[in-house]
Chain A
Amino acid sequence: MPEPIFRAAPDGSLLIAPLDAFTAAYHRASGITHLLAEPAPQILAVLGEGASSLDALLARLGRDYDLDDGTREALAARLDELVDAGLVERA
């Protein structure tokens, strides 16, 4: 089975406002305001640079952040949540 590719919502469909540990995100398509905790804003930022597989996303995040063991499963879970929220598409 091919690796799923994750894609951020199209350019301009999200308004992002960092608050503190949380980031507010307004999703234009649904009119819903999301309150995101780390690492969701970072995931969205990286996917904003281009669609990515889970492993490629993990490697890309690893360049900017210290990642612990178990991160792959955690990242997959966070991606699922973002897909459920409509902020990320699974291609």
Chain B
Amino acid sequence: MKHAFSVRIGPVGFRIGSDWRAPIAALETLYRDYPQPHDGIPDFTVRLFARRPWRRFIRPSVEIGGDYMLPEAAPLPLRQGLLAAEMAMNLQMALGARRYLLLHASAVERDGRALLMTGISGAGKSTLATLLAAKGWRFMGDEFALLDPATGLIHAFPRLISLKNDAIAAAEAAWPDARMGPLLPATPKGDIRHMVPDARAIALMDMPATPALLLFPRYGFEAETRPVPPAEAFVRMTQASTNYVALGEAGFRALTGLIADVPSVAVDYPDGASAIDQVEALWSAL
């Protein structure tokens, strides 16, 4: 491809090729403090390409591809090229990763122990991880937590934090010095702005953590917490994992082990400040 960029995020190396310079330039700037893939060999390849040659120039629209493709994925306009790159990287991970059980969860760490937060889009995974990181937790990731079936440890995947709509202002207030990508208005997911995780998150991204607490947050409700029964937590996590079925027995052992070892709690919260108090109370009660 005309333009290319390589990066390692946690244990996973990516190579992103593009027909256009702009998305690569944005990635180079935002990921400038990240390392290169181990031995220079990426785990996944992502391609941002024009379906027809003239679409590089005329109303340029970005198709995403790579080792794994979703044939029905709609192309994005070039000004959303950064979002296309991020979506394509997530897609390769979601469909291709076999080394770890992928949990669709954000993760933060304190004292070597990881707090996992899972939930549907809009539950507040990214926002809560960002707010907790501003309070001294180590940010491990806002999209995927990587559970190692061999060790039961959580590995960090601190990609750019994908902030949506109201979360953009909340994160900017919590991290006024954070480096931010361009505002991408009116994407299929609403307004999006990418935030670079803090230097500590990047420096410590190779350090795994022992899972200690699994939360199911829900934004927009009266503050309330309730224990989630292990069977319910197990079923919800099989749904929250993109490769549970693909991992087979290793996935079963890893996930039943996680559920047996770690308390699961549903957290309803009305706002970020309240959520942080609820999380801290649950954490200190462990």
Contact = CB atoms under 8 A, between A and B. Distances in A.
Interface stretch (A22-30, A43-51, A75-83): A22-30
A68 B18 CA distance: 69
Main secondary structure of the interface of A (DSSP, over half): strand
B253 interface: yes
Contact of B230 (A15, A20, A28): A20
Contacts of A33: 238, 252
Contacts of B248: 26, 31
Given A24-B234, A33-B238, A35-B231, A19 B252 contact: no
Interface in A1-58: 15, 17, 19-22, 24, 26, 28, 31, 33, 35
Contact of B249 (A15, A20, A21, A22): A15
B182 to A, nearest CB: 43
A33 B252 CA distance: 8
Given A22-B231, A26-B252, 4 more contacts: A19-B229, A19-B256, A21-B231, A35-B235
Nearest to B230: A19
B256 A31 contact: no
B260 interface: yes
Nearest to A36: B231
A35 B256 CA distance: 12
Interface residues of A, number: 12
Contacts, number: 35
Contacts of B234: 19, 24, 35
B259 interface: yes
Interface residues of B, number: 14
A87 to B, nearest CB: 15
Contacts of B238: 33
A26 B231 CA distance: 14
B183 interface: no
Nearest to A28: B249
Contacts of A31: 245, 248
A20 B252 contact: no
A15 B250 CA distance: 11
Nearest to B253: A15
A19 to B, nearest CB: 4
25 contacts: A15-B253, A19-B229, A19-B230, A19-B231, A19-B234, A19-B256, A19-B259, A19-B260, A20-B229, A20-B230, A20-B231, A21-B229, A21-B231, A22-B231, A24-B231, A24-B252, A24-B256, A26-B249, A28-B249, A31-B245, A31-B248, A33-B238, A33-B252, A35-B231, A35-B234
